[in-house]
Chain A
Amino acid sequence: QVTLKESGPALVKPTQTLTLTCTFSGFSLSTNGVRVSWIRQPPGKALEWLARIDWDDDKFYSTSLKTRVTISKDASKNQVVFTMTNMDPVDTATYYCARMQGYGDRQYYFDYWGQGTLVTVSS
Chain B
Amino acid sequence: QSVLTQPPSVSGAPGQRVTISCTGSSSNIGAGYDVHWYKQLPGTAPKLLIYGNNNRPSGVPDRFSGPKSGTSASLAITGLQAEDEADYYCQSYDSSLRGVVFGGGTRLTVL
Q: Chain A: residues with CB nearer than 8 A to chain B?
A: 37, 46-49, 52, 60-63, 96, 101, 103-116
Contact = CB atoms under 8 A, between A and B. Distances in A.
B45 interface: yes
Interface in B23-68: 32-34, 36, 38, 44-48, 51-52, 57
Interface of B: 2, 32-34, 36, 38, 44-48, 51-52, 57, 89, 91, 93, 95, 97-105
Given A46-B102, A62-B99, A107-B34, A114 B51 contact: no
Contact of B46 (A47, A48, A101, A106): A47
A16 B44 CA distance: 27
Contacts of B46: 47, 96, 110, 113
Contacts of A104: 34
Given A46-B89, A46-B102, A48-B102, A106 B95 contact: yes
A109 B48 contact: yes
Contacts of B36: 109-110
